[in-house]
Amino acid sequence: MEVGLNHYLILAAAIFLVGLVGFVTRRNTIIMFMCVELMLSATNLVFAAFARDLGNEDGHVFVLMNFAVAAAEVAIGLAILVQIYRLRRTVDADQLTTLME
């Protein structure tokens, strides 16, 4: 059995759906960041799958750019969360309604 484009797209849709459901249902901001990373990984899989299927290298460039965006998001987001935790002693999204107290 050969793994084709449809298999990659189904896997990417499942990963994206898990990330979306986790982002919507969970209130811990660290878990929300992890779910966003899952969604970005699913888009990377779609870009790479189409690049492989079409024989075009442009999809791999998008994957590298997406990795850069994900790394920047994690670095900045976790730094902000550490500061918020130091000030408020919580990372629950429902309790974080304002940036300053």
Asked if residue 94 belongs to a domain, the reply is no
Structure tokens at 12: 């990417």
Q: CATH number of the domain that 24 lies in?
A: 1.10.287.3510
Amino acid at 41: S
Helical H segments across the chain, by residue range: 5-25, 29-54, 58-88
Domain of residue 11, residue span? 5-88
| Domain total in the chain | 1
Asked if residue 97 belongs to a domain, the reply is no
pLDDT in tens, 28-63: 988 999 999 999 999 999 999 999 999 999 889 999
Q: How confident is the model at residue 99, as a pLDDT?
A: 63
Asked if residue 20 belongs to a domain, the reply is yes
Asked if residue 96 belongs to a domain, the reply is no
pLDDT band at 1 (very low <50, low <70, confident <90, very high): confident
Span 59-79, average pLDDT: 91
Asked if residue 66 belongs to a domain, the reply is yes
Structure tokens at 88: 């408020």
Residue keyed to tokens 């900045």: 76
Asked if residue 100 belongs to a domain, the reply is no
Asked if residue 99 belongs to a domain, the reply is no
